[in-house]
Amino acid sequence: MALRDTRTEHGLEGGELEALLGDRRALDHVFSVTYEELRRLASSVRRSDPNASLSPTTLVNEAWLKLRNSPRLAGLARLHFKRIAARAMRQVLIEAARRRKAHKRGGGGLTKRPAARTNC
């Protein structure tokens, strides 16, 4: 797809698309530079919590999925970005724990409705 087609499809004018793509590339770069540090942090979390159900790689990747649509994060200082990524990883862990606990309480599955009574 040509750049011009993308502009009209998404309603972006002028250099907006180029700026957005540049921000996304910058975010990709910042994330790849800090990946090993984030993975080490995720590993330490896993060691401290034996009930953690996510591998360090999965945890970092899930954090990336949360952050990927925020290209403005690329302009932040590296330390600030790592703190935001750490918060995203905590949110992923909290969501996983909530799903686990909901499953223990019987949630997560389809609930059966009682059969309709017939007056025969």
Per-residue pLDDT band for 15 (boundaries 50, 70, 90) equals low
Q: 22 and 67 in contact (C-beta within 8 Å)?
A: no
Domain residue extents for the chain: 26-104
Helix, strand, coil shares of the chain, percent, nearest 5, are 70, 0, 30
pLDDT at position 39, please? 94
pLDDT at 59 over 60: yes
- Collapsed DSSP state (helix, strand, coil) of residue 117: coil
pLDDT, tens digit, for every residue of 92-115? 988 988 888 887 777 655 444 455
pLDDT at 87 over 50: yes
Distance CA 37, CA 62 (A): 15
